[in-house]
Structure 1
């Protein structure tokens, strides 16, 4: 049966599902890099301002993961058990929650725009103007992003990763066309700067969402999203089921972002160029973490269905195959960052000061890329088992350690010490997550069917 991940060769099944998701994640990386590359032509101050808005978008993705992860895991496990009626109920509730949460987050960003931007203590007028312009538009219409992420998770839970890939590809092309036109304003077009980048991104997200909704409408049967009612009264059991899985994931994502905001405020003491490097550096890193997160999403659906069907042997074999695949990718990224930092930095920065800071960042952060890839992939695996609370505890504990570590190392080594606080904690998390998965699945060995 199409979308059935409980049968067939494990590596082939997992790879077939994972490749479109990884490609979609890579497209997400190109979204961000495209924005930063064009905004970079406006200078590091504009990049710093957009980076502030990007922090709140990142925070929103943590909240959006409640509906996405809760819906994806529950739908996958229901399909594995053969209960498609419950799978449809969870899918409908996930879409409803995504809509409500997206609208609520957008409203908060618009109403409290000035205090949210002022938190980062930007002093340069150009950076502040870019921050206000970008945040107002990009965060004010985040409901499209919330629905896109949730629909992607629900498609993936059913073993369909091709539709989200096609949708994201079309969205990327749209974004790449609109970015230079709206940011730089060639010819008769107005130069909108940071606001242009926000408009391009929101337009692309709307198109991606529309294509995935169209995919549900055109499909005759089989998709659990078919026939859902957005305005129907949510059933308590489905809300509770999604919240049980999704809330720990949301807390983990939002805590991670909140901690990064505190660290960004520390980085801002070193100037706009340092803030810009942290922002752009995160986008460059997304080449590794978006890909690993995409593979983790595939593994999440694979493990969710097989765990629901009681096939723990396939769970363990699927994880081992993923461990090696993602590990190799992480090592390649490490070598690229450590050996070629200056050519990468010069793609996004033109001022000598910013380039020098970016080179130091890439070298230090490069050492943790393989470990970070394993961490993100394992989070997807453990979440497929329903262990989102455990993931949250591990992640928040080690990520929180960045703040005192950054204070300690930053006081002795300056900006370099803050970069090492990022890198060392990522290395620790990667090791702990992998060991935890092997321990958890060793405990459940007797449940193999």
Structure 2
């Protein structure tokens, strides 16, 4: 099995070896993505047992949380891409300096974002069109997550730095641990003390009975524990990156911040406008009623199991292309781009078929409410047809991030969702209901994949790097 160090040493890699290396790095990254998505399933399934109002409370602010999470995650990429380039060039001292500066800059930024989130936590559900039954729970759920953003950002930073160092296994393993912790914490925090029948024995199971607040608290607690473990391994154990072994300045310097902004600023803006569009979709869905809000939220969570492989392979693509680019091996970077996109499209096509067949079972897993299940199944089966082209956009974006090309890809994402998805959703929702919103999404994702494939094969992204 080839090792990623071959990229830095200048060794030759056959097409078969490149494919094996892609799979070798993609598999742990996909497991990390799967564990994160499973946490969403767990929260949705557990909260779904509390009733439609609680489900709608979570669903109403979920896209707003993605906005805040995504902004903080995008900021970390500005530093991790530079680390990938430095490691590709064999300059580990520079990589460690970038890590130190990244910790400082990301903490400062995430604290500022958390303060903004806390300030809007109470009015936000009302702005999104929620009613008095769902708004209090939605506000509390949102507030817990945004207050934890600085620590969650360290989780994003630690995982991104380890992956760009070529270490996919530790982030993957820690994210699986996070998933298990989420189950345990939610089990005791969401539900009240109750009596369970286990193998014929009546057992009193203690519980805090915190409902939606317990779901947020449980997930945040699991993520905080994982963030601590991630940063400990990165700073104390990761070969070449263990900054605890030497002294160094954590003060950001102009050159590193400038390059970080060049990568992160377009990604942050792009994520903000895309999540803004998703929030706008929530506003379009809200007048359709509580059942539609809950079904939309559950369907979005259910569909995430399909694009999980795409984001995992996209993470691997960023590492492989980034290190190849840093080593000056542009032909290898291009080949890794083609291989990772093809692998993502094949994998997500299979997942789309699975989603179409298993949609009823997946929705029933998350909620016992028949009307919500019916709406969600119809939406998921529409979306299943978009998965191959969705994969193309996800992985191609990861490829382009690897060389630091983010401005035009960010603009492509922005134009696609704002000029295609939103107008179509607004037109189709009044006549087709929730199905119209998801049909608009399917059409837009197919269009987005097509324009990313065009840019990938044009080769222009290789000339736009840092």
**Residues of 1 paired with 2:64 and 2:430: CA distance?**
27
Determine which of 116, 119, 143 is the counterpart of 1:111.
119
8 Å CA contact 2:295–2:372 kept in 1: the answer is: yes
**Residues of 1 paired with 2:269 and 2:303: CA distance?**
22
Partner of 1:169: 176
Q: How does 1:231-250 map to 2 (within 5 A)?
A: 232-250=250-268
In the alignment, structure 1 residue 60 sits paired with structure 2 residue 64? no
Partner of 1:415: 434
8 Å CA contact 1:88–1:228 kept in 2: the answer is: no
In the alignment, structure 1 residue 34 sits paired with structure 2 residue 52? no
Q: How does 1:349-368 map to 2 (within 5 A)?
A: 349-368=367-386
Q: Deviations over 1:227-281 (max 9, x none)?
A: 5889832111111110101111111111111101011011000011111122111
**Residues of 2 paired with 1:416 and 1:426: CA distance?**
15
**Residues of 2 paired with 1:193 and 1:177: CA distance?**
14
Determine which of 289, 295, 298 is the counterpart of 2:307.
289
TM-superposed deviation, 1:190: 2.0
Unaligned runs of 5+ in 1: none
259 and 230 in structure 1: CA distance in 2 versus 1, 3 angstrom threshold: farther
TM-superposed deviation, 1:4: 2.5
442 and 300 in structure 1: CA distance in 2 versus 1, 3 angstrom threshold: closer
Partner of 1:84: 92
- Alignment root-mean-square deviation, CA: 2.2
Partner of 1:431: 450
Unaligned runs of 5+ in 2: 194-204
- Deviating runs (4+, > 6 A) in structure 1? 228-231
Partner of 2:185: 178
Moved more, 333-342 or 285-294: 333-342
Determine which of 394, 406, 411 is the counterpart of 1:393.
411
Q: How does 1:212-291 map to 2 (within 5 A)?
A: 212-219=230-237, 221-223=239-241, 225-226=243-244, 232-291=250-309
TM-superposed deviation, 1:225: 4.5
**Residues of 2 paired with 1:390 and 1:319: CA distance?**
17
TM-superposed deviation, 1:205: 0.8
365 and 230 in structure 1: CA distance in 2 versus 1, 3 angstrom threshold: farther
Partner of 2:140: 133
Q: How many residues align?
A: 444
TM-score, with length taken from structure 1: 0.93
8 Å CA contact 2:303–2:355 kept in 1: the answer is: no
428 and 420 in structure 1: CA distance in 2 versus 1, 3 angstrom threshold: same
Partner of 1:194: 212
**Residues of 1 paired with 2:436 and 2:239: CA distance?**
55
415 and 2 in structure 1: CA distance in 2 versus 1, 3 angstrom threshold: closer
**Residues of 2 paired with 1:159 and 1:80: CA distance?**
10
Moved more, 13-22 or 409-418: 409-418
- SS of 2:207's equivalent in the other structure is coil
Partner of 2:158: 151
**Residues of 2 paired with 1:420 and 1:230: CA distance?**
53
In the alignment, structure 1 residue 70 sits paired with structure 2 residue 78? yes
441 and 45 in structure 1: CA distance in 2 versus 1, 3 angstrom threshold: same
- SS of 1:188's equivalent in the other structure is strand
243 and 205 in structure 1: CA distance in 2 versus 1, 3 angstrom threshold: same
316 and 117 in structure 1: CA distance in 2 versus 1, 3 angstrom threshold: same
**Residues of 1 paired with 2:268 and 2:278: CA distance?**
15
**Residues of 2 paired with 1:297 and 1:221: CA distance?**
20
Q: Deviations over 1:124-153 (max 9, x none)?
A: 41x223202211212221212211111111
TM-superposed deviation, 1:75: 1.0
In the alignment, structure 1 residue 24 sits paired with structure 2 residue 32? yes
TM-superposed deviation, 1:92: 1.8
109 and 359 in structure 1: CA distance in 2 versus 1, 3 angstrom threshold: same
**Residues of 1 paired with 2:418 and 2:347: CA distance?**
27
